[in-house]
Amino acid sequence: MTETKQPSFRIRGLANPTRFLALLDKIMIPLVILTVVVIGVGLYMALIDSPEDYQQGATVRIMYIHVPAAWLAMFAYTMMTISALGTLVWKHPLADVSAKAAAPLGAAFTFVCLTTGSFWGKPMWGTWWVWDARLTSMLILLIIYLGLIALWHAIEDPIKAGKAVAILTLVGFIIIPIIKFSVDWWSTLHQPASVFTLEGPKMDNSMLIPLMVMAIGFTLLFTVLHFKAMKNEILRRRIRSMQMQAARQVASGNRAAATQAASPSTGPSASH
């Protein structure tokens, strides 16, 4: 009776940091190239090939940065929420690494969303900022991101920090549906959803296609930066672990030397 040889690779094997780093070494360069190509094509389609809006003119092109940034801001937090479950429920060894790597990226995309929204809102609304439901909820998301990042740095032990951040991340997830449905629940200056609706996209393909290409490009950019940040965090923790181990060995050696020096001599005394 012959045994069927099982494939050596399993997805769960990526829970091993060494295997995960080996995979990153294989895919990072192709992933970076793909990201550059997609963003380049998206920028050409968005800034040159796409038409101007009949009301907003060329200002509408801010949309191709603003909207993908908003999507990625919420996507990053959703990923952190899944990672939080991985930390608290499934005890995945890379879950808190993923969350820590995603937080600064999510904050950056949220900041880009708010900034481009201000530039877009000035000619449309006549002001840089209004306490609109969508804007306010996005600002709260940025504050949550910054709070989680600060908590990571406030707790020295990465394991304890990961658990504390995971709990707060789960609590803070309530902001994501609030952002999503704020234009439906409250009176807001923002237009309702025009891409992901039950009736299908309400945007012409001449604008929809460049927008989706830019969204894919932003997602690839997030993936590249997220993987790079995860790699750096894994290496940082390894260095910290080696430093702590070396410090313990030095301390143990010092204690042994001190004990030996303090103990009385038990050998025969020399005769004179």
Give the pLDDT confidence score for residue 191 in this predicted structure: 76
Give the pLDDT confidence score for residue 202 in this predicted structure: 78
* Residue 54 is assigned to a structural domain of this protein: no
- Which residue stretches of the chain have pLDDT < 70? 1-14, 198, 263-272
CB-CB neighbours of 3 under 10 Å: 5
Distance CA 89, CA 121 (A): 42
187-239: pLDDT as tens digits: 777 777 787 776 777 788 999 999 999 999 999 999 999 999 999 999 998 88
CA-derived radius of gyration, the chain: 26
Those residues with Cβ within 8 angstroms of residue 6's Cβ, 6 or more apart along the chain or in another chain = none
Give the pLDDT confidence score for residue 36 in this predicted structure: 98
* Residue 13 is assigned to a structural domain of this protein: no
Give the pLDDT confidence score for residue 16 in this predicted structure: 87
Tell me the backbone φ, ψ of residue 57, rounded to 5 degrees.
70, -145
* Residue 17 is assigned to a structural domain of this protein: no
- Which of 72, 63, 69 shows the shortest CA–CA distance to 204? 63
Give the pLDDT confidence score for residue 10 in this predicted structure: 52
Residue found by looking up tokens 């950056």 in the block: 108
* Residue 249 is assigned to a structural domain of this protein: no
Distance CA 129, CA 139 (A): 11
Model pTM? 0.86
3-class SS at 40? helix
Interaxial angle between packed helices 158-172 and 63-88, expressed in degrees from 0 to 180 and rounded to the nearest 10: 120
Residue 128 CA to its chain's centroid (Å)? 28
Q: Is the dihedral of CA 123, 125, 128, 133 positive or negative?
A: negative
* Residue 267 is assigned to a structural domain of this protein: no
* Residue 166 is assigned to a structural domain of this protein: yes
* Residue 38 is assigned to a structural domain of this protein: no
What domain range is 139 assigned to?
A: 62-190+214-238
CB-CB neighbours of 121 under 10 Å: 21
* Residue 120 is assigned to a structural domain of this protein: yes
What is the number of structural domains in the chain? 1
